[in-house]
């Protein structure tokens, strides 16, 4: 009798764990935009190579990474163009981390897209600390640009 109760409890517990729960990154059920990190900040054309222009307006020395390359320096007030070569990849197009060198200052990224030149300007400033910290520019296979 005890084994039947234990087996029934185990089956019910397993079924409870298998019940699907919506993930945070799923679109809103009402079809509208809900604020959060899962919303794209901009859109770019993935049929052509993409130029990312990083503008350091933080007053601090930054470092950034490129796929297949180590970290590079982005001095105070400097800008850097990164060419993202588009191929027939089905996964993400680019993931570029940007951080303060040797510090933990929170950053904020503002995007401006020039569709004609397929150029994304990323203006990097200090965050006020009340907003979520941006740490990486991420472009997915559909050209959606996110800050994570």
User: Would the pLDDT of 90 be above 80?
Assistant: no
Average pLDDT, the chain: 79
* Count of domains observed in the chain: 1
Give the CATH number of the domain where residue 142 resides. Answer: 2.60.270.50
Burial class for 4, CB neighbours closer than 10 Å (0-12, 13-18, 19+): exposed
Q: Give yes or no for a contact between 145 and 111, defined as CB atoms under 8 angstroms apart.
A: yes
Model confidence pLDDT, tens digit, residues 114-144: 999 999 999 999 887 676 677 889 888 888 8
**What residues make up the domain containing 90?**
42-147
Q: DSSP letter at 22?
A: -
Any domain includes 5: no
Q: Does residue 23 have a pLDDT over 50?
A: no
Rounded to an integer, the average pLDDT of 18-35 is: 50
Place 35 in a pLDDT band, splitting at 50, 70 and 90. Answer: low
- For the whole prediction, is pTM greater than 0.85? no
Q: Work out the burial of residue 147: count CB atoms within 10 Å of its CB; fewer than 13 is exposed, 13-18 middle, 19 or more buried.
A: buried
């Amino acid at each position: 009798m005890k084994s039947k109760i234990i087996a029934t409890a185990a089956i019910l517990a397993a079924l409870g764990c298998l019940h699907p729960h919506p993930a945070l990154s799923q679109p809103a059920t009402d079809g509208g935009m809900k604020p959060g990190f899962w919303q794209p900040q901009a859109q770019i054309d993935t049929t052509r190579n993409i130029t990312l222009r990083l503008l350091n307006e933080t007053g601090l020395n930054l470092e950034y990474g490129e796929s297949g390359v180590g970290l590079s320096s982005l001095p105070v007030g400097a800008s850097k163009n990164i060419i993202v070569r588009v191929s027939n990849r089905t996964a993400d197009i680019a993931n570029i981390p940007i951080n303060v060198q040797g510090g933990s200052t929170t950053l904020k990224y503002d995007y401006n897209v020039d569709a004609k030149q397929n150029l994304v300007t990323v203006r990097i400033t200090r965050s006020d600390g009340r907003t979520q910290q941006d740490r990486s520019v991420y472009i997915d296979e559909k050209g959606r640009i996110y800050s994570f």
